[in-house]
Structure 1
Amino acid sequence: MTNQQHKTSVTVLGLGAMGQALAGAFLGAGHPTTVWNRTPGKGDDLVARGATRTATAAEAVRASDVVVVCLYDYAVSQAVLDPLAADLSGRALVNLTSDTPERSREAAAWAAGHGIDYLDGAILVPVTVIGTADALLFHSGPRPVFERHESTLRVLGGNTVYLGEDHGLAAVYDNALLDFFWTSMSGLVHAFALAGADGVKGAELAPYMSALLSIFPEAVESTAVEVDSGVYPGEQAPLVTEAANVDHIIHASEHRGLDVGALSGIKAVLDRAIAKGHGADGWTATIEAVRGAR
């Protein structure tokens, strides 16, 4: 009996860069792997490694016990999955497509209505990290479904985390972490542009950027405590002072012809928080303005 005969069979629907990485990880771990893509011509390398490529999504689904979906968004994934409801019934469907918690829950309701064991998931690492011990993936949905297929899903990443029964949780965590990541990356790029406008090379500023990151672990922990408690200590740096500092950066950026859209958004949030009576509180008090944006 070969090693593959001991392993759960897996189908991967969607062969973009991430889908190919997922299928490659399953193959590398010895899982019989079937692949399908909406447009032909992808997956030659996977087939050369032993994957089975099918002409139709229905054939791909019927080939495996676990079906993993990784497509552009949930509108695309549902367009693919809707005609496959009968084929998916009785199988485990793991959707690793990125989207919103609401769409995750809608997909879960659709799956439940068709007798499909459904897990929602999110991938928090780039393609090159898939299949390694450091790869972080979130899953949410029925615990028995996750536990039944946990060993298979852990092939994709050593840091595979089950979040709970609510199918939307994986997307909640995904959206929140990417919110932090992309706003931070935007600030990083803008800072390089600001310094560069006065002739400072990125490489000259970079060491000080890295040093600044040392305060973030403690800041993350303290901010979490403050947003949960609703207490925002501001003795050392009240919002009125921080708002003035942001104004200085906006003025300097405008003088150099730089885009200030993100900074103006930050200043608007600060101003709303101050107007709500939080001028003497710390930066975390801006959450009151963020929550009251609508």
Structure 2
Amino acid sequence: MSSHTEQSEASAETDVTVIGLGPMGRALAAAFVGAGLGTTVWNRTPGREGDLAARGAAVAPSPEAAAAASPLTVVCVVDYDASDAVLRRAAVTAALKGRTVVNLSADTPDRARDTARWADAHGVRYLDGAIMTPTPTIGTPHAVLLVSGPAALHEAHRPVLQALGGTHTHLGEDPGRAAAYDIALLDVFWTAMAGWTHALAVAEAEGVGARELAAFAGGIAAILPPLFTETAAETAEGRFPGDGNPLTSAASSMAHIVHTSEAHGIDAGVMRAAEGWARRAIGLGHGGDGFTRVAEVIARR
């Protein structure tokens, strides 16, 4: 194709459509194009498709044209409010009938299940997914994608989705399962990042530079992967051993962090919450247990 106009008006069916050209959406589209797949793209705000068009992607003039262009539409926008605003337009819904949508937008498990119900009611085949690695990993062996929904549908589209690289794990028929993993794993990430930024603030207040702290923080980070594996096995078995670090000791340590932070005028809300969980578990008679007992305590209704 020799021009943007020709690409926009192209009627030949392509292998895959990408709706949403934010950083991740552009990476997805680039991986498809790089794998030699016929790729159609559309973005609500024009102007982000330039280099993709130059590399051979067809640029759809409307979301309904994008939906009609391929048997498979991959959606990657900020959340399900944004994806609903596109997919649930009458013309787009009609164009998608009998086709497959893979929604890689981030949102909650309930929203994923609601979208799956909407798709089923309108004759749209639906898979929900989550991208667990950063934009630069897309199209490389380091990408990690989670998918949930009908297994046969995932297998049917695996050859195209494989262009995104890395590993593709099908988590089961429940369309909300990928989002559940995503929420839980992002919980780990953002809680860790909150702890790190808070630690930087406390360290600076005590005259410790960020680089100085980072030299030792790596050791703390290295403890976590084996600890995750060990405590997951224990939790699955209903055991919460606290031989090395019981909740009573953990709560005392957290109180020291709260005291030091607030002495410098630094908000200690996150650590106060964690200490509160530990104190609640202790109050229920679990003071000799390990910290993972907290998961059971805070989940009680």
1:24 Cα offset (Å): 0.5
Query: Percent same amino acid among aligned pairs?
Result: 49
TM-score by length of 2: 0.92
Matched, 1:67 2:73: yes
Partners of 2:59 and 2:259 lie apart in 1 by 57
Tell me the equivalent position of 1:151: 159
Partners of 1:205 and 1:262 lie apart in 2 by 20
SS of 1:283's equivalent in the other structure is coil
Alignment of 1:139-218 (within 5 A): 139-218=147-226
Letter in 2 for 1:187: G
Partners of 1:30 and 1:125 lie apart in 2 by 23
Matched, 1:259 2:267: yes
Determine if contact 1:270/1:289 at 8 Å carries over to the other structure. no
SS of 1:120's equivalent in the other structure is strand
Letter in 2 for 1:152: V
Tell me the equivalent position of 1:50: 56
1:162 Cα offset (Å): 1.0
1:235 Cα offset (Å): 2.3
Alignment of 1:225-264 (within 5 A): 225-264=233-272
Alignment of 1:124-135 (within 5 A): 124-135=132-143
What are the ranges of 5 or more consecutive residues in structure 1 without an aligned counterpart?
1-6
Partners of 1:18 and 1:282 lie apart in 2 by 39
Matched, 1:12 2:14: no
1:214 Cα offset (Å): 2.2
Determine if contact 2:14/2:40 at 8 Å carries over to the other structure. no
Partners of 2:222 and 2:136 lie apart in 1 by 26
Letter in 1 for 2:278: L
Partners of 1:213 and 1:114 lie apart in 2 by 47
Letter in 2 for 1:184: A
Tell me the equivalent position of 2:103: 95
| Count of equivalent residues | 287
1:61 Cα offset (Å): 1.0
Partners of 1:273 and 1:287 lie apart in 2 by 10
Q: Pick which of 7-16 and 138-147 moved more.
A: 7-16
Picking from 40, 50, 68, the partner of 1:34 is 40
In the TM superposition, structure 1's runs of 4+ consecutive aligned residues that sit over 2 Å from their partners are none
Determine if contact 1:227/1:287 at 8 Å carries over to the other structure. no
1:171 Cα offset (Å): 0.2
1:10 Cα offset (Å): 0.6
Q: Pick which of 173-182 and 276-285 moved more.
A: 276-285
Letter in 1 for 2:31: A
Tell me the equivalent position of 1:3: none
Tell me the equivalent position of 2:120: 112
Picking from 279, 289, 293, the partner of 2:297 is 289
SS of 2:88's equivalent in the other structure is helix
Deviations 1:84-142 (A, max 9, x none): 22111111110000000000000001111111111000011111111111001110100
Deviations 1:66-92 (A, max 9, x none): 100111111111121012221111111
What are the ranges of 5 or more consecutive residues in structure 2 without an aligned counterpart?
1-12
